[in-house]
A = this chain, B = another copy of it.
Amino acid sequence: MMESYRAHAEAALKAYSAGEGLAPILAESMRYGLLDGGKRIRPCLLLCTAEMLGADPETTLPFACALEMIHCYSLIHDDLPAMDNDDSRRGKPSTHKQFGEANGILAGDGLLTAAALLLSKQPGHDAAKTAILSAALDMVSGQSYDLNASDRSEAFLRELHRQKTGALFRAATEAAANLADRNDLMPAFAALGETIGMLFQITDDLLDAERDRAEDKLTFVTFYGEDGARAFAAEAERSALATLADFDGAAADELRQLIRALTCRTE
């Protein structure tokens, strides 16, 4: 079933990135950075949560795609020489390696703009749009904290990851509640998304540590140690599953499975 969400998101992303009327290299570089290879966790989380809460899948798909476009633009800009300077991404050259640095910058700008434009074209659900764009701004702030990090406190580590990684996960579940016309659940589901985002980040840090890629970065593993980080992940999993305790049905089961899979993911 998660595979079905992923396939839906993938097909819709393809359709939304036709790039009609755009300069050919811009359209091609945007598609290059967006399509093929992503796990699509954020749009799947949005689609699954929205279905669990009874939203219409036709309505939710563009919101899920906008969220993924924002995630992908951030990866393109993160990989730039002035940022993390990564030459490859998802098993292929990163966008700026493939198209040059200037086109990489524009591809990211284009995807972020296309995401906002896609949202603006959806009728209603202003709170879902604001949740997603507000998270997108928090994400930039998280990257800024990461880039200019001088503080190595626990509070700083938590705030950095709450903004850098947690924000888009929060947006997925918070927007889902609005899309299902369950605004009463938005605060609880915003918190659920942040918790899932933290879970994702901790397992990311654990995988990096296994591969000796953490260096001297401030991560959950370098701060709390591997055992400490695992305990945090277990607590995040427990807390996320507790929020879902009262929900039944296939989508709720799928969401629980997604959360458990994030806890013990190996890639």
Contacts and interface: CB of A to CB of B under 8 A. Distances in A.
Contact of A147 (B103, B148, B163): B103
B116 A133 contact: yes
- Tell me what chain A mostly uses at the interface: helix, strand, loop, or mixed: helix
Copies of this chain: 2
A141 B109 contact: no
Nearest to A138: B21
Contacts of A157: none
B110 A112 contact: no
Given A120-B133, A130-B117, A144 B105 contact: no
A109 B140 contact: yes
Contacts of A121: 126, 130
A130 to B, nearest CB: 5
A140 B103 contact: no
A232 B116 CA distance: 35
A21 B159 CA distance: 10
A41 interface: no
